Amino acid sequence: MCAIVGIINSKDAAKTAYYALFAMQHRGQESSGISASFNHKIKTHKAQGLVSDIFNNEILNSLQGNIAIGHNRYSTAGSKDSKDAQPIWANYLLGEISIAHNGNLINKDEIRQNLIKEGAIFHSNMDTENIIHLIARSKKEHLQERIIEALNIIKGAYCLLIMSRSKIFAIRDKYGIRPLSIGKLKDGGYIIASETCAFDLVGATFVRDVKPGEMIIFEEGSDDFESIMLYEEKTPRICAFEYIYFARPDSVIDGKNVYEVRKNLGKTLALKNKIKADLVVPVPDSGVPAALGFSQKSGITFEMAIVRNHYVGRTFIEPTQEMRNLKVKLKLNPMSEVLKGKSIIVVDDSIVRGTTSKKIVELLKHAGAKEVHLKIAAPRIKFPDVYGIDTPTKSELISANLSDDEILKYTGADSLEFLEIDELKNAIGNEREYSLVSFDGNYFVK
């Protein structure tokens, strides 16, 4: 899960990209970067850290031009290393290009080995660099043809922004696993971004989503864009985790408001509830909408009884278990005055490794809660998601290795309840298919 943004035909494109990346910081906190094109030269600045730490006015002023792409990184392929920051820049036979990628290529190792055998030299561990090499080594005459040839080789989940000196190519994989939307800026330019919350910050108007299997070409000086459908129509499968956890609540993903979906998940949990409790308490921040929905449906009082330190990042997307354990303690603090002697229902968005759940139960009981009942607004995560989530092996997934009773014992909670897969689909909207690979192990991309 990463954030990508493209800006074209807009003054100070890099500054607009900066604000968009700031709005999408939740999608990746390891590194950030922006490439901008000016006078047919591409300049890139990228580094490890948060958007606000990497860029200042001096740097943004140096990234001149009315075309730019940007990226916030959360590692799914590669490592937490400065050389793996994006966008990736290259100068090849047809000129300069820069690429920003959100997703994960499932055949990256095979492609990489084939390219190395042909003499390719790699400078990073990222799967995105494979795409650069495939484009550069193609014999096709035009960049568009080279991109299409590369897309016919790669497999997996991807949203791509490929910037030449005068164009941006916006591409979404044939299943539309990761989101990508188009907006219109006030000055007439376009913004392409992973989430619509970026549009709100920069004052853009939503135009439409990039369709699964579509390439859209934006050109400098053009008021319109060109659409090319690259593949035969497939059943779209947006990743359900975008609604459960990844996306910001104020984003609209494939026509559905994330906040309302999360409330629906909580309401669905409440319909199953048989526990008599005094309070409904969310795990902030991602558990708040589901807890609100649970409270509204059940009639049990809602309390923000866990305070979050907002200067600490999201625990799930931290790359090591040791860092996740420490950050749970730094990040969350329960209010004993509210909790003492109370039976509480704790609503969280999901259980992945169990790190947060175990620590939260410990913290709540230490704060004086009489009973702690865990309600999880997602099904049991039993399978690695190879389409852009950092769960590479089953050994990291608690529901893949322990029964519900064993998880209950491990966390120290008094009861535990998950949503079932059909309940999840109904809550999001059963009119379409979703990527549910974390829950059902259906690896549909071959």
Give binding residues for Mg(2+) as ranges: 286, 348-349
CA atoms within 13 A on the CB side of 309: 13
**Residue of 31, 348, 415, 4 lying closest to 178 (CA atoms):** 4
Q: Which two tokens stand for residue 374?
A: 């865990």
Q: What are phi and psi of 42, to 5 degrees?
A: -100, 130
Measured CA angle at 87 (ends 86, 88), to 5 deg:
95
Among this protein's residues, is 197 annotated catalytic? no
224 CB neighbour count, 10 Å cutoff: 8
**Residue of 59, 50, 47 lying closest to 12 (CA atoms):** 59
Q: Alpha helix locations (H) across 273-340?
A: 288-298, 321-331, 336-339
Binding-site residues, in ranges, read: 286, 348-349
92 CB neighbour count, 10 Å cutoff: 15
Of the listed 2, 159, 197, 239, which one is catalytic? 2
**Which are the contacts of 174, defined by CB distance < 8 A and separation ≥ 6?**
212, 213, 230, 231, 234
Alpha carbons 183 and 203: distance in angstroms, whole number: 9
Q: Any idea what DSSP says for residue 210?
A: P
Contact 163/67 with Cβ under 8 angstroms? yes
Alpha carbons 436 and 423: distance in angstroms, whole number: 12
Catalytic residues: 2
